[in-house]
Structure 1
Amino acid sequence: MAAYILRRLVSTVAVMAMVGMFVFLLLRLAPGDPAAIIAGKSATAEMIAGIREQLGLNEPMPVQFIRWVRDMLGGDFGTSIFAGRPVLELISQRLEPTLSLTVLTMIVSVTIGVSFGILAAWRAGGLVDRILTAFATLGFSLPVFVVGYFLIYFFAITTHWLPVQGYKPIDQGFGPWFVHLILPIVTLSIPYIAFIARIARASMLEVLSEDYMRTAVAKGASSYAMLFHHALKNAGVPILTVIGLSFAGLISGVVITETVFNIPGIGRLVVDAINGRDYPIIQGVLILVSGLYVLINLTVDLSYTLIDPRIRY
């Protein structure tokens, strides 16, 4: 087990090193002079020189990289070009909306998606299975922004049941906080519920067809014991894999959803930074998001060993 964990940690460090190199080169190797791009068309030579000095672009590339890595490890993600404030401070101010939306979306997606997959596999070929399969196909095919605008039109504009857009911090009350997140969560959850349900159904069907499952049925095992004690545990590795992969799509989905519902989260911060060509913010968000994604994948890989001990060796 210790050797397996060590191998995974080494590979995680290697992946983060490659990500860091890519993010660093993203600015330095972009076509044109990054300082001139940031300064704009009407900038003077002095303004461009000042930006180059601020970003450290006048130094040799290896020196820039070493200083950049050192600053990142020390918690210094640079200063926003246009806001003039530390990047980490700007990200921390936008963290609560994105974290709330992401965590609640994953809880809803995993709970409903796995439940739908188990139910569809249990009633394979029946009406319930066909309905859930049709929902999974439709939900996985619809773009997030289409679902979002439809929900806004029906639940906010037509019926006035829920707010159209915006976000309320949780310190202003649990009710307003949750009500403003209902539509974004539903919008973002639908494709991941469908994705997880399809994989859970396929994995459960494969396990339910095994000889030891037929033996359990012949011995009189209850449906609950057969589904949750035997089948779900053995089908857990593919399900955990798809849950981990869902986080990759969730990152892009959050950007679109926050834009549609006017949520001031990290996704909106990235969009504004891209429009304003604020490279320090883009680099800082890429590093943090990549690190979080790699950490989630590491957690998923380590959790495999709890389900299937053979993976340790």
Structure 2
Amino acid sequence: MAVYVIRRLVSTIAIMAIVGIFIFLLLRLAPGDPAAVMAGRNAAPQMIANIREQLGLNEPLPVQFIHWAWDMLRGDFGMSIFSGWPVLGLISQRVEPTVSLAVMTLILSVSVGVTFGILAAWRAGRLVDLALTAFSALGYSVPVFVVGYFFIYVFAIRTQLLPVQGYVSIEQGIGPWFVHLILPTVALSLPYVAFIARIVRASMLEVLSEDYMRTAAAKGASSYAMLFHHALKNAGAPILTVIGLSFAYLIGGVVITETVFNVPGVGRLVVDAITSRDYPVIQGVLILVSGLYVLINLAVDLSYTLIDPRIRY
């Protein structure tokens, strides 16, 4: 068990090092002068020189990387070129909407997706299974922004049942906070519900076809015991894997959803930074999101040892 955990930790550190190198080179190896790109057209030479000095672009590349990596480890993500604010401060101002949307989406996606997958596997080949399979195919195929604009038209413009855009902090009340998250959460959840349901169904059907499941049925085990006590537990590893993968897809989906519903989160911050060529902000968001993604995958890998004891040895 200890060897497995240490091996996973070492691989996680190596992955983050590779990701850090890639993000660092993303700016330095871009075509043209990065400082001139960030300054924009018709920028004064002195402004370009100031940007180069601020980013340390005058130093050799290995020295730049050492300084950049040390600053990242100390939590210093630099200053925004255009706002003049610390990058970490800008990100912290946008964290609450993004975290709220991501957590709500994961809760809805996992609960509904696992339920649909179990139900489809239990009624395999029947009308319920066919209907859920068709829903999964549709939900996984339709882009998030199409679903988002459809929801805006139906529930905000036509019926005016829900707010069309914006975000209300949870400090201003749980009710307004929840109402403003309904449309973006449901729109963002649909592809993940479909994705999780398909994997859960396939995993459950594979387990239900095993000999020990037929033995349990012959001994008179109830459907509830077979589905939840035996099948779901043994199909847990693939389900955890797909939940971890869903987080990777969720990162891109949050950017699109926040843009469609005008939610002032980290996704909108990235879009604005890309539009204004604010590379320090882009790098800061990328390194934080990449680190969070790697840590979640590490947690998923370590959780396998609780589900399947054979991995410990």
Task: Establish whether residue 38 from structure 1 lines up as the match of residue 38 from structure 2.
Answer: yes
> Equivalent residue of 1:94, what SS?
helix
Tell me the TM-score normalised to structure 2 length: 0.99
Task: Establish whether residue 104 from structure 1 lines up as the match of residue 104 from structure 2.
Answer: yes
Could you list the per-position Cα deviations for residues 231-289 of structure 1 after superposition, in whole angstroms to 9, with x for gaps in the alignment?
00101111111110011110000000000000000000000000000000000000000
Tell me the CA shift for residue 40 of structure 1: 1.2
* 1:207-246 map, 5 Å: 207-246=207-246
* Residues in 1 aligned to 2:57 and 2:258: alpha-carbon distance in whole angstroms: 33
Match of 1:118 in 2: 118
Match of 1:29 in 2: 29
* Residues in 2 aligned to 1:146 and 1:259: alpha-carbon distance in whole angstroms: 12
Amino acid at match of 1:155: F
* Residues in 1 aligned to 2:167 and 2:151: alpha-carbon distance in whole angstroms: 16
Tell me the CA shift for residue 62 of structure 1: 1.1
* Residues in 2 aligned to 1:191 and 1:41: alpha-carbon distance in whole angstroms: 40
Over the residues paired in the alignment, what is the CA RMSD in angstroms? 0.5
Tell me the CA shift for residue 39 of structure 1: 0.9
Amino acid at match of 1:235: A
Task: Establish whether residue 276 from structure 1 lines up as the match of residue 276 from structure 2.
Answer: yes
Query: Runs of 4+ in structure 1 displaced over 6 angstroms?
Result: none
Structure 1 unaligned spans of 5+: none
Between the aligned residues of both structures, percent identity stands at 79
Amino acid at match of 1:106: L
Tell me the CA shift for residue 185 of structure 1: 0.3
Q: What number of residue pairs does the alignment pair up? A: 313
Match of 1:307 in 2: 307
Tell me the TM-score normalised to structure 1 length: 0.99
Amino acid at match of 2:50: G
Match of 1:183 in 2: 183
* 1:79-90 map, 5 Å: 79-90=79-90
Tell me the CA shift for residue 41 of structure 1: 1.3
* Residues in 1 aligned to 2:208 and 2:132: alpha-carbon distance in whole angstroms: 18
Match of 1:74 in 2: 74
Structure 2 unaligned spans of 5+: none
* 1:136-215 map, 5 Å: 136-215=136-215
* 1:7-22 map, 5 Å: 7-22=7-22
* Residues in 2 aligned to 1:48 and 1:274: alpha-carbon distance in whole angstroms: 18
* Residues in 2 aligned to 1:121 and 1:254: alpha-carbon distance in whole angstroms: 30
* Residues in 1 aligned to 2:99 and 2:140: alpha-carbon distance in whole angstroms: 23
Amino acid at match of 1:107: I
* Residues in 2 aligned to 1:49 and 1:160: alpha-carbon distance in whole angstroms: 52
Tell me the CA shift for residue 311 of structure 1: 1.5
> Equivalent residue of 1:138, what SS?
helix
Tell me the CA shift for residue 63 of structure 1: 1.0
Tell me the CA shift for residue 46 of structure 1: 1.2
Amino acid at match of 2:5: I
